[in-house]
């Protein structure tokens, strides 16, 4: 009751002040566990049901949702701005930016989840929360339940999306450790978060263009056997949008979210310069060893890091909107 009364007090205060000075709601209305318990009791179950079916059909759908959360949250915060389609008024949204186009996928899956939620509870569940729930469920399903956590919700959807923004915040896979750490720090995450969240590279596929130039065409520390295999899969001139096949990021357990990634880092069998960079400092190398060798260590930290990432610069309360269509802002 106290929580309801407090929110009512904030609502009245904001209503009185809104026209004069505006009202920033996020300091008053943090994300909550079970936010949709009364508004749409079946919301999280609906998301999980769609995700289970999608991952059964193609495990890559789960990897796509985890990657989408990262690409959304690091640009404009976790507000589903990455989902917006181009319009005459906004012809170049985030999804057309090089870090997202053509490699970011899963937009149709978000559409399917949104359609199911709109049928059950019209206008209630935000697209930003859908992305967060989908990434949470993908983590659980792909880890066979070893990564299992609750995701607070109450995010609202943003109304701004521009292709220039991802270039500022999504560093490329050719990045060194200092650039990677800096990109996380600016979003309120630390070095351990970087190492832990990098573990998501144990699932999914990568386009050859993401690693050919700096890992295969020039000297690198990549394992000779893996390099030979990759040269057989990838053209030396692989370019985004051109001749650009995909390969598994983890050939040992490609469809399982687990700590194998860290074993691969230690054996120099990872694809990206950004993966290998984790061994270039004593601090991060020690974390890699811990994650590789201690059962359950990484999974526990991954749960916490995912929740932390999903809270970056969220919009709540009076900020943003609840989009009816995740690809377009509402026009009233």
241 is in an annotated binding site: no
For 23, the token pair is 């009202």
Omega within 30 of 0 (cis) for the link into 102: yes
94 is in an annotated binding site: yes
Query: How far apart are alpha carbons 112 and 115 in whole angstroms?
Result: 5
C-alpha dist (Å) from residue 173 to 41, 107, 253, 321? 40, 22, 21, 33
212 is in an annotated binding site: no
For 97, the token pair is 């930016």
> Among candidates 326, 325, 307, 317, which has minimal Cα distance to 69?
307
> Among candidates 91, 127, 120, 142, which has minimal Cα distance to 259?
142
37 is in an annotated binding site: no
Query: How far apart are alpha carbons 287 and 134 in whole angstroms?
Result: 27
214 is in an annotated binding site: no
174 is in an annotated binding site: no
157 is in an annotated binding site: no
Query: How far apart are alpha carbons 296 and 203 in whole angstroms?
Result: 17
Q: Which residues are catalytic?
A: 71
Q: Are 209 and 240 in contact (CB under 8 A)?
A: yes
12 is in an annotated binding site: no
161 is in an annotated binding site: no
Q: b/e for 99-122, b at 16 or more Cβ within 10 A?
A: bbeebbbbeebbbebbebbeeebe
131 is in an annotated binding site: no
246 is in an annotated binding site: no
Task: Tell me the binding residues.
Answer: 72, 75, 77, 79, 81, 94, 201-202, 250, 253, 258
Task: Tell me the binding residues for heme b.
Answer: 201
Task: Tell me the binding residues for Ca(2+).
Answer: 72, 75, 77, 79, 81, 94, 202, 250, 253, 258
């Amino acid at each position: 009751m106290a929580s309801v009364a407090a929110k009512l007090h904030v609502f009245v205060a904001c209503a009185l002040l809104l026209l004069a000075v505006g009202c920033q709601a996020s300091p008053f209305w943090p994300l909550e566990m079970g936010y949709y318990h009364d508004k749409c009791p079946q919301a999280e179950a609906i998301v999980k049901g769609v995700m289970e079916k999608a991952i059964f059909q193609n495990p890559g759908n789960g990897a796509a949702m985890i990657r989408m959360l990262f690409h959304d949250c690091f640009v404009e915060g976790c507000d589903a701005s990455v989902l917006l389609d181009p319009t005459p008024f906004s012809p170049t949204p985030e999804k057309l930016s090089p870090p997202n186009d053509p490699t970011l996928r899963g937009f149709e899956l978000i559409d399917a989840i949104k359609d199911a939620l709109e049928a059950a509870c019209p206008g209630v569940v935000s697209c930003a929360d859908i992305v967060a729930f989908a990434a949470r469920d993908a983590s659980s399903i792909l880890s066979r339940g070893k990564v299992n956590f609750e995701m607070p919700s109450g995010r609202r959807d943003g109304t701004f999306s521009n292709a220039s923004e991802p270039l500022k915040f999504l560093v490329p896979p050719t990045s060194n450790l200092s650039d990677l750490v800096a990109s996380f720090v600016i979003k309120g995450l630390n070095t351990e978060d970087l190492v832990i969240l990098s573990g998501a590279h144990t699932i999914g596929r990568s386009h050859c263009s993401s690693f050919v130039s700096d890992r295969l065409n020039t000297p690198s520390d990549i394992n000779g056997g893996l390099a030979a295999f990759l040269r057989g899969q990838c053209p030396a001139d692989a370019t985004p949008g051109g001749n650009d096949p995909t390969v598994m990021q983890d050939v040992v357990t490609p469809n399982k979210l687990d700590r194998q990634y860290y074993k691969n880092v230690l054996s120099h069998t990872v694809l990206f310069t950004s993966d290998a960079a984790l061994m270039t400092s004593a601090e991060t190398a020690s974390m890699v060893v811990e994650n590789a060798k201690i059962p359950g260590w990484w999974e526990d930290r991954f749960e916490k890091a995912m929740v932390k990432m999903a809270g970056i610069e969220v919009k709540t309360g009076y900020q943003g909107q609840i989009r009816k269509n995740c690809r377009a802002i509402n026009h009233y």
